[in-house]
Amino acid sequence: MLDKDFTIQFIEKAKSLGFQDIGISKARELTEEAKNLEKWLLNGFHGDMEYMHRNFDLRIDPKKLFPGAKTIISLTHNYYNDIQFEDTSRPKIAKYAYGKDYHKVLKKKCNLLIDWIIEQKGSIQARAFVDSAPILERKWAEISGIGWIGKNSLLLTKGKGSFFFLSEIIIDIPMEYTETKATDYCGTCTKCIDTCPTKAIVAPYQIDSNKCISYLTIEYKKELPDTYNDKMNSWIFGCDICQDVCPINARSKNHQEPKFSPNEQFISLNKEEMYNINEIQFNTIFEGSAIKRTKFEGLKRNLDFIKKNED
């Protein structure tokens, strides 16, 4: 039996922890999405991300990932930050990496929600996921009614845009499901497609990761291809171009989570200091940051590539 009162209380609790939108879906196999994912993989659009091939069955069916799953809870958390750095010519880092590593910050919040569920319901099974398991998070959020998947393949929400993290909690009890189809407000707009300097959005809703600046600066471990010499637009970790030009993001507001704000050392870094950063400085300035994912060698590779193409 679906518990409407419990669902309302849960949503209130989630919002008190800083989550914005909460969508709740019935766990089931995503048969249509399986076909789309298989086609994307066959096209080689996943690049060197071989983990996308692994656990295909788990990725499309949460009941195989989490036996007994009845409910998928999708949660968004704003990370937008319009801070202006002292040196505006410095190499660029995606907004989501300005502060502390979102994996750790949001996993802690999700675990607090699980603790709350256990307090209310007693013995239940639950798992939290923050970009850390084979789960189609954007699709589940779309199914739940939070928003729609835009032409840049990111989840968009009316009035808030796309500058938010996604988290999921899977539980073995039913809840009041919020499933509904959100209106796609992208319309005829193609700004994200037209503005991408590497033409990574090969068709609406279709991304070739091999061309994506975010993939190239983080996931890609080899030397950056010379074909992108004049196309990286000074990005050294991630990329926000397709989000920055999106009209839906015009209403984005600054987040309220202190841990997602940059430290003073990060804010004051100028162009030359970034180009000449050493490993000790890297570890100090980016302590606890998602930027550590690329390691010092990876960030230095990206910096050297950008600098080479400025000379």
Read off the amino acid at residue 269: L
Q: Are residues 235 and 307 in contact, defined by beta-carbon separation less than 8 angstroms?
A: no
Q: Write 279-286 long-range contacts (CB < 8 A, 24+).
A: none
**Rounded-to-integer distance, Cα 72 and Cα 305, Å:** 42
Q: Which residues contact 35 (CB under 8 A, 6 or more apart)?
A: none
Q: Which residues contact 159 (CB under 8 A, 6 or more apart)?
A: 251
- 164-171 vs 235-237, strand pairing mode: unpaired
Q: Which residues contact 24 (CB under 8 A, 6 or more apart)?
A: 7, 71, 72, 73, 74, 144, 175, 176, 177, 178, 179
Q: Which helix (H) or strand (E) holds 265?
A: helix 264-268
**Rounded-to-integer distance, Cα 48 and Cα 220, Å:** 7
| Burial class for 260, CB neighbours closer than 10 Å (0-12, 13-18, 19+) | buried
Active site residues: 131
Residue corresponding to tokens 């032409």: 151
**Rounded-to-integer distance, Cα 59 and Cα 36, Å:** 12
Read off the amino acid at residue 113: L
